[in-house]
Structure formats: structure tokens, C-alpha cells
Chains A and B, each alone.
Chain A
Amino acid sequence: MVKLFNLSKSYGRDLHALRDLTLSVPKGDFVYITGPSGAGKSTLLRLLFAAEVPTRGQILIGGQNLGRLGNRQIALMRRKIGVVFQDFKLINSRTIYENVAFPLEVQGKKRYEVSNKVYQVLKHVGLEHKLKRFPKELSGGEQQRIAIARALVIEPQLLIADEPTGNLDPEVTLEIMELFKSANARGTTVLLATHDRQMIQRFPRRIVSLEAGRLSADTES
């Protein structure tokens, strides 16, 4: 599903966020990306959905080389990738329903199809009763679940999440993890950046460790 070849990303001349990273993630895999703060986890994820371009190296997603895609093709590729952003990136002027419907709306899906899917996925994350609320009226954990619902509503082939449990209490963390697990169980490849050791121990999966932008360990558990 995801293949990286000698991937490097530098900011300016001396700041090397990623160095010569080569990695392969098969379809249906569940991978933790770990490492201390500043190791390059977020940078790697941003490269994967083409929010940034690598300084060197290649990225293949589903066999497509990101470097060769034009703007339109990048847009179409993003429709297969669900992203859960560290800061959620919910639209505050839109309701929960509208936020979750947004990726489908952008694809020009029909109204009844949109409402069906949005309702289902909101039910899946347990927030179907809040669909008329606005993001700011929800707790952090609820907002996180909405962000996940928006990523899942397109039934993505690849799910990318950056520290999805970062500032949530342990109880909520469990609920969130269940959502990722069930998505993975339905065939979605999951890439999850975290430095939460506890969580990794609870749900052991493949662990890719980064240190100062380099691959320091890749362990299957």
C-alpha cells in the first residue's frame, strides 16, 4: 500500500526532518510510527498525503508515485486516504453533520448517499445524537471522534492519524483505539503516529521507530 524509497525532507539547509527513509507497508497492515518529539513523525505523515513534497526520494501509494501526480491527480488520490489531524482541523462554522459530510460533498456525491453514510459513521463513533452541534460545543474526545468519523466516511484504503490520543484521558483513548482497530479489521491500512508507549503495549502491532529523522527500528510484534 505504501512504499518509501530513500525519502528525505529538509527544512532549509541544516534541518533534516527525515533522512534516507526506506519503508514498505503492505495492504491491511497496522503500523505505529513512534519516536521522541521532533523525530519526524508528523513530517512523514504530511508527505504521505502530499501536504509537503520530499526533498529527495520517492513515495508510492497504491502503486502511484506521488512525485508524478498533478494537482488534480493528487486530489483524486486523497479521496482514498483518510487523515486524522493532530489539531483535528474541523470547520468551526459548520455543524458536525456538515463536517463529516464534507469529504463526500467535495466528491460530488448525491445527497441521500451522503446522509446515509454520515449517519452510519456517526453512529459508529457514537455521536449520531450530536449531528446538529458545532465543533466548539463538543469535548476534546468528541471532537477527536468527529475527526475520525470524517476520515472514515470515505471508506479509505489508507488511514493516517497523527497523535490521535495525544491529550485525551485513558478511557477515551481506549474508545478511539477501538475505532482504529475496527477500521483495520475491515481492511483499511492504518498508519498511526504516537509516542504513547502505554497504548502500544496495550495494542501491540508493528512499530516503526524514528530518531532524528532516521529509521532506528522496525519491529513486528
Chain B
Amino acid sequence: MLRKTFYFLLRAVRNMWQSPMLTSASIVTVTVALAVLAFFAVLVQNISDVTRHWSEEVQVVVYLASKPDAAERNADIQKLRADPAVVSVAYISPEQARNSFRQRLGADEDLIKGMPSDFLPASYELHLSEEMRSETGVKQLVERLRQQPRYRDLRYGQEWLERYGAIISLLRVGGFIMGGFLLFAALFIVANTIRLTLYARREELEVMTLVGATPWFVRAPFLLEGGLQGFVGGLFALLVTFGLYHLALRSQLATLFMASGVGQIHFLPAAYQVYLLLTGTFLGLFGSLVSLRRFVRISP
């Protein structure tokens, strides 16, 4: 078994060695196709992390028309808590609002120096239950809150949610279409490479089948050749994407997301890296199978 595998591997490598141009062309196309896919995957991954992070924080802020007294406040909190969508309620007094605003301004805190202590309205911050964090969940809650006239204004992160959602779907669709197209091109080129190898060895292949080689014995080295090309292509794609990520992508993304407070930009998770290699390998195997089906016959 091991001896046979080694024999096939030797033949596959020898085939590739004897046609370096074809082999590199085929590896390069696999690399390009998979690198494009991986690049988009990094983008989508990080952007959806941002939205997930953001949606964990999603809360509805209820601004009050006037500062409530203690009794009013307790009644409000009781009632808000009773809503099934709400997990917790925090009361933010105008002074607290002013403080945290000042902190956020940092060096520019002079801007609010002259302002009265209650120039910001009092508010309730509602933390939503996990299942209500979706767009429709938030909207329904907001509809319910609007019934209460003392709740002057309601703020929730709907715009953000929608905008990020749109960007992610765009990237996803774009990545899939482009990557899919390139994968198809790569498949075609790998299949063609193997076909040309088969053609170069047709004499040997014919004799091989005539002296009793089993179908798989004939196919194995070429499958291995395709699979190896795909795997190497996948490996290069991973390296290229990793390089791009370190040289440019990481800092670009970090700047882009600074405002939203995402902790870390990261590369593809290990599982995705493995998928990438597997995709390359399968691409190669499949490409070579396509050619083998048409060119290797044991008997008419």
C-alpha cells in the first residue's frame, strides 16, 4: 500500500517535473482563484464581527421630555422591565449624560464648559434580550414605546444595522461570484494541464492498459498530480492572502473600524484555512478526473 502510494507519488512528481510551464500555470490559477476567495472571506469575516459586536450592544435609548422624580422613575422602570423584549433598564440622569459626553470629548471638553448641567435630557437605556436584537424585534419594541407621550425621543441603531448588513451582503455576493468564476477558470486550466500530460504520455498509457493495469492504477498518478497542484495552489493562496493581510489589509480595516470599538482585526480562522487547502485539493482532483474520464479507457 505504502509502496504503491510512493510509486504513484513518484510518477506524479516526475510528470510535473517534465512539464514545469504547464504545472506552474495550473498552480498559479488555483492560487489566484483561492486568494481572491480568501481575501473576501477576511473582509466579510471582520465586518460581520463588527456588526455582531455592535448588535451585542444594541440598545434602545429612551429620551425623556423632562427629568422624572423618583416615583415616576421607579414606575417607568417597572413597566419597561415588564416588557418581554427588555432585559435590563438603566436610568441615566442629565448629569451622568453630561459627564460621559465630556469624557468622550476628551481634549475638546471645553466645548460644553458653559452649558447648564441639564442641557442633555434624562434617559433610560434598555438592554434587549438576545432574540429581540434583530431589526424587526427592535422596531416592534420601539412601536410599543412610542405610545407613551413622555418618551420624547427614541434612538436605536437601525441605520447602522442596515448599512452594515448591506455591505456584508455585497461583499459576500461579490466574493462568491468573483471567486466562483475564478474557481471555474482554475478547474478548466487544471483539467487542461492534466489532459496535456495525458496526451504526452498516451503511448505509455496505451501500453499500460494493454499489459493489464487496472483503471485506478492508471488514474492514480494523474489524480495525485491534479490534487498536488490544487493543494500547492491552496497553500500559495493562503500565503498570498496572509502577506496581503499583514502588509495592508489589517491596518486598513483597523482604521475603518476604530470608531465602532472592535477589539481585534483577525485573519481567517484555522478551520477556514483548512477549507481553503481542501478546496484547492478537490479542485485539482476534480479537474484531473474530468480529463481522465475522457482520455483513459481500458476497453472500448
Which residues on A are within 8 Å of B, measured CB to CB? 49-53, 71-72, 74-79, 83, 89-94, 102-103, 106-108, 150, 154
Question: What separation, in Å, do the CA atoms of A94 and B11 have in the docked complex?
Answer: 13
Which of B3, B206, B211, B300 makes the CB contact (< 8 A) with A103? B211
Question: What separation, in Å, do the CA atoms of A61 and B69 have in the docked complex?
Answer: 105
Contact between A106 and B217 (Cβ–Cβ < 8 Å)?
yes
CB distance from B222 to the nearest CB of A (A): 15
When distances are taken between beta carbons in the complex, the residues of chain A under 8 Å from B214 are 71-72, 75-76
When distances are taken between beta carbons in the complex, the residues of chain A under 8 Å from B300 are 51-53
CB distance from B2 to the nearest CB of A (A): 12
Contact between B299 and A71 (Cβ–Cβ < 8 Å)?
yes
Nearest CB to that of A104 among chain B residues? B211
Other 6 A-B pairs with CB < 8 A, given A71-B299, A79-B211: A71-B215, A74-B299, A75-B215, A89-B207, A91-B204, A91-B207
Contact between B215 and A106 (Cβ–Cβ < 8 Å)?
no
Nearest CB to that of A69 among chain B residues? B299
- Per-position 1/0 for B199-231, Cβ under 8 A of A: 000011011111111110100000000000000
When distances are taken between beta carbons in the complex, the residues of chain B under 8 Å from A108 are 3-4, 7, 217
B298 interfacial by beta-carbon distance below 8 Å: yes
Query: Given that A53-B299, A108-B4 are contacting pairs, would A78 and B211 also be in contact in the complex, using a CB cutoff of 8 Å?
Result: yes
When distances are taken between beta carbons in the complex, the residues of chain B under 8 Å from A75 are 209, 212-215, 217, 298
Contact between A49 and B210 (Cβ–Cβ < 8 Å)?
yes
Nearest CB to that of B200 among chain A residues? A93
Contact between A102 and B211 (Cβ–Cβ < 8 Å)?
yes
Query: Given that A51-B299, A71-B298 are contacting pairs, would A106 and B206 also be in contact in the complex, using a CB cutoff of 8 Å?
Result: no
Nearest CB to that of A49 among chain B residues? B210
Which of A51, A53, A94, A107 makes the CB contact (< 8 A) with B212? A107
Which of A50, A52, A94, A106 makes the CB contact (< 8 A) with B211? A106
Nearest CB to that of B298 among chain A residues? A71
Is chain A's interface secondary structure helix, strand, loop, or mixed overall? loop
Query: Given that A71-B299, A75-B298, A108-B4 are contacting pairs, would A89 and B212 also be in contact in the complex, using a CB cutoff of 8 Å?
Result: no
CB distance from A51 to the nearest CB of B (A): 7
Question: What separation, in Å, do the CA atoms of A150 and B7 have in the docked complex?
Answer: 21
Question: What separation, in Å, do the CA atoms of A98 and B215 have in the docked complex?
Answer: 21
5 A-B pairs with least C-beta separation: A78-B212, A79-B212, A103-B211, A71-B298, A106-B213
Which of A50, A89, A92, A106 makes the CB contact (< 8 A) with B299? A50
CB distance from A78 to the nearest CB of B (A): 4
Nearest CB to that of A50 among chain B residues? B299
Question: What separation, in Å, do the CA atoms of A83 and B299 have in the docked complex?
Answer: 15
Question: What separation, in Å, do the CA atoms of A132 and B188 have in the docked complex?
Answer: 39
Query: Given that A72-B214, A75-B215 are contacting pairs, would A102 and B208 also be in contact in the complex, using a CB cutoff of 8 Å?
Result: yes
Question: What separation, in Å, do the CA atoms of A107 and B217 have in the docked complex?
Answer: 9
Nearest CB to that of A71 among chain B residues? B298
Which of A76, A89, A94, A107 makes the CB contact (< 8 A) with B210? A89
8 pairs from A and B in contact (CB 8 Å cutoff)? A50-B299, A71-B299, A76-B212, A78-B210, A91-B203, A102-B211, A150-B211, A154-B212
- Per-position 1/0 for B1-33, Cβ under 8 A of A: 001100100000000000000000000000000
CB distance from A199 to the nearest CB of B (A): 25
CB distance from B5 to the nearest CB of A (A): 11
Nearest CB to that of B208 among chain A residues? A106
Question: What separation, in Å, do the CA atoms of A76 and B214 have in the docked complex?
Answer: 7
Which of A49, A53, A71, A102 makes the CB contact (< 8 A) with B207? A102
CB distance from B295 to the nearest CB of A (A): 14
Question: What separation, in Å, do the CA atoms of A106 and B215 have in the docked complex?
Answer: 11
Nearest CB to that of B4 among chain A residues? A108
When distances are taken between beta carbons in the complex, the residues of chain A under 8 Å from B206 are 89
When distances are taken between beta carbons in the complex, the residues of chain B under 8 Å from A79 are 211-212
